[in-house]
Amino acid sequence: MPELPEVEMVRRYLEAHCLGKTVAGAVVNQPACINVPPTAYGRCIAGATLEHVWRKGKLVMVDLSNQVSLIVHLALGGEVLLRDTADHDPARTQIVLTFADGTALHFHQLRLGNVHVYPTYHLATTRLGRLGADALDELPSVAGLQALYGASGKPIKVLLLEQTLICGIGNLYGDELLFGAGLHPERRGKTLTGEEFVRLREAIAETLNAALRSRTPEAPPYEPHVYGRTGEPCRACGCTIQRLRLNNRSAHLCPTCQPLG
């Protein structure tokens, strides 16, 4: 499932390749991916120019010149690709936005994802308005993190996944940043010390930025320290990586580097 770093790369791609293009129309092969009837969807965006692309958490917003915005949610996965043609396979391409210059933006394999359209002034009343601070661009101070998490009896891994508190962190980077902070995922928010909140904030920033850097062409791919490595040795201490369940989600950890006690 795409998390903040992957979604940020989509934002950068759209900004680099699609800004300034004028929408000619839309082809919708899967109406479940949009929030209005297909004919209305096309009318809402036809003739408008893409003016601004921004992100909050795992959502990408595209503001158009007619005071309409698109909210792109990749959900479980998907690909966004600008092509020289609108030709496509309807079985794997849910939406195609055609542009006046003949190019087209293809949304492939969205897997429960969607591209909704709203009046720009209405965005704050959508799911966007229910999100907490962005984990990269609006990361709270140490005191802010303590205010969000420090009184809770929930496990810190569960708290990190609550998008209404801080948005953009998912299962993968939640595991990775807790490893970086040396915190066991089952630690309750209210048990964390001030020094541990300092480590947590540093780990959030360092982990997300490292993941972003790994997605540049010249960088090696991101290699998780614990996520998806159940039964393998920890690269830091050699202890066996473990997997546990928290609120029906998995959590990976090194029991030596991330002690519970």
In angstroms, rounded to a whole number, what is the distance separating the alpha carbons of residues 241 and 243?
7
Question: Is 2 annotated as catalytic?
Answer: yes
Measure Cα distances from 57 to 8, 16, 177, 245 in Å: 9, 20, 16, 24
Question: Is 154 annotated as catalytic?
Answer: no
- Check 3, 6, 8, 196 and give the catalytic one: 3
Burial 133-151 (b: 16+ CB within 10 A, else e): bbbbeebbebeebbebbbe
Per-residue tokens: 182: 């040396």
In sequence order, the 6+-apart residues with CB closer than 8 A to the CB of 118 are: 35, 68, 69, 71, 126
- Check 51, 235, 249, 255 and give the catalytic one: 249
Question: Is 3 annotated as catalytic?
Answer: yes
- Check 11, 58, 157, 199 and give the catalytic one: 58
Closest CA to 195 of 145, 237, 257, 254: 145
Question: Is 21 annotated as catalytic?
Answer: no
Q: Which residues are the active-site residues?
A: 2-3, 58, 249
